[in-house]
Amino acid sequence: MGDNAKHAYNFAVEELRDREYPQMQGKTYLDHGGTTLYARSLVEAFSADMVSNLYGNPHSDCTPSKLAGHRIDEIRERALRFFNASPDEFDLVFVPNATAGVKLVADCFRDYAAASNTSFWYGYHRDAHTSLVGVREATKGFHRCFTSDEEVETWIEGRTASGHRRRQLDLFAYPGQSNMTGRRLPLDWPGKIRKNSQRVPTYTLLDAAALATTSPLDLSNAATAPDFVALSFYKIFGFPNLGALIVRKASAHILDARSYFGGGTVDMVVNIGDTWHAKKDVTVHDRLEDGTLPFLSIFALDAAMSVHTKLFGSMKQISMHCAYLAHQLYSELSQLRHCNDTPVVRIYKDANAIYGNSATQGATIAFNVLRADGGLVGYVDVERAADEQQIYVRSGSLCNPGGVATYLKWTPPEMRAAFAAGHKCSNPTQVVKGKSTGVVRVSLGAMSTRADVETLLDFVRETYVETELDVSDTEAEIFTAIPQALHVPASPSVIVSSSHGSQSLSYFSSAPASAPSARTSPRKPQSSMPTTPHSQYQRSTTQASPCTTSASSVTTSETDMVHKHKHALAATVTVHEVRRKQGQTEKKSAWSRGMKTALNRLV
């Protein structure tokens, strides 16, 4: 897609967004990796279907139920074809989400191994989502985490019976795309594994939840396709909340050994006087879809596929559009610098992943924000600050333990120690001993635009980029902040300033300062914060920003007032509390650290 085509497609998306995504008006949504958004046309089409047709439970035999059953069959086949999967070679099992599909495979392998007295070995890639990692607990300790692509390639090339138990069932699982960094993994591994697993049967499970969001998933070649593919439709279409496990029919026999059976999956059950049951034997999905299917959600999927194609053309076009936006965002974030030429963000990416190349990198960026002195800004703090600006991202460890260990450089002992000290994914300690425990993640989607990218970049620039700042520019703000912190009337003569770590404090006499210039004024979201008593203040020892220049000589003819309230200030006022009193959110800027230093020196 050339530059003109990229701009034209972006413009087309902007045009349709006003009409199809009114819920996005005035908002910047950048968490498509969690779920993308549903279109107005999708809701309208689904609603029209619901009020125009009478559907019954597909397990019944009346006309409304038969209509529902026929539609499910049609939509199942259409969903397979959406991924270029032939119904002759594959079956599709409806599940709540990708995780449910993964768990179904794990349960079946565990039961197959138990029934056949076979050892179940499980291998998974370091970029695996927690849901893939959890499969290891279905084995009896026979599992391995591959820490690099090279390890996987070496293992594939050496696949023989040597080094394996005589009776062993192998399953290798990996994500098509890291849900943390967005790097895309090789899709030719399943074919290679099948070719080199003649003596030791090895099956493959692909977690396509992140990949399928903005990339075509092509299962046209059954010989090289994964045996099992798990995905979530809401990550592609926004609605319905539904997932699928796509099963290669040649490998489906492994799933037949599942012990559990639910309503609709059996033809006969005996439970009085004996225990016996007969499973359905027509299709794979008949034996695995327990109970009544979420048939209304499946009907919504039909509308979702139609609307998605009408609005965006094809997954290939979406992939190119998102790759273009991700490349722009990555390039400009990477170039952001503080006044001392240190980077504003640290982006986590694989060395072989290239933004703009959809074969190696998806439309996801994981990063941490850095201060000019190299310190970390908490990832939750960044998400909250963005949220106040109606910019919606995600932060945390993202259910990707291997990614956290690899990119944030956490060792097992360190992770255990952090947990023992109170850090949890559900209640994180953002920085532990100088290391971040999570990241900020931005993920783009089909309806993302260049304007979304610019909005995020503006937010990062205005909120976190530290520019050279003369203290004289902030005099008016300091005049306001100190009296409020001291609970005294405002006075244009109370001022204190610092000079690159100097411990001296001087009082001078001068005229009131002018307002700060637009060049140095930090972004201040409007919010209302409660007043915090001095007794709750904590002492801060933060030094001045590396970007703060020498202060001009200012202030006071009212030193008596300062001494009078010195005891109150001695409890110390951090800049966070000062700004809260002004109804503002703390910004890690030159102003904030200069102000904090000034207040500490006043004590």
Of 137, 127, 153, whose CA–CA distance to 401 is shortest?
A: 127
- Which token pair is 473? 């520019």
Contact yes or no for 297/75 (Cβ under 8 A): no
- Which token pair is 536? 């709750």
**429 Ramachandran zone, left/alpha/beta (phi>0; psi -120 to 50):** beta
- Which token pair is 222? 């059954």
Distance CA 293, CA 524 (A): 50
Instruction: Return the half-sphere exposure (C-beta side, CA atoms, 13 A cut-off) of residue 495.
Output: 26
- Specify whether 339 is catalytic: no
Encoded amino acid at 560, one letter: D
Distance CA 483, CA 491 (A): 7
Instruction: Give one DSSP letter per residue of 474-490, joined into a string.
Output: GHHHHHHHHHHHHTS--
- Which token pair is 89? 């070679």
Distance CA 583, CA 384 (A): 15
Number of neighbours of residue 55 by Cβ within 10 angstroms: 18
CA distances (Å), origin 333, targets 61, 155, 319, 440 = 59, 37, 21, 13
- Which token pair is 348? 């986590």
Distance CA 115, CA 109 (A): 10
Q: Cα torsion at 216, 219, 223, 228 (round to 10°)?
A: 110
Distance CA 185, CA 178 (A): 8
DSSP 344: S
Helix (H), strand (E), coil (C) string for 159-178:
CCCCCCCCCEEEEEEEECEC
Number of neighbours of residue 358 by Cβ within 10 angstroms: 22
Of the candidates 62, 145, 322, 399, the residue annotated as catalytic is: 399
Contact yes or no for 494/574 (Cβ under 8 A): no
Contact yes or no for 136/143 (Cβ under 8 A): yes
Phi, psi of 243 (to 5 degrees): -130, 180
Determine whether 335 is exposed, middle or buried from the number of CB atoms within 10 Å of its CB (0-12, 13-18, 19+): exposed
Name the residues annotated as catalytic.
399
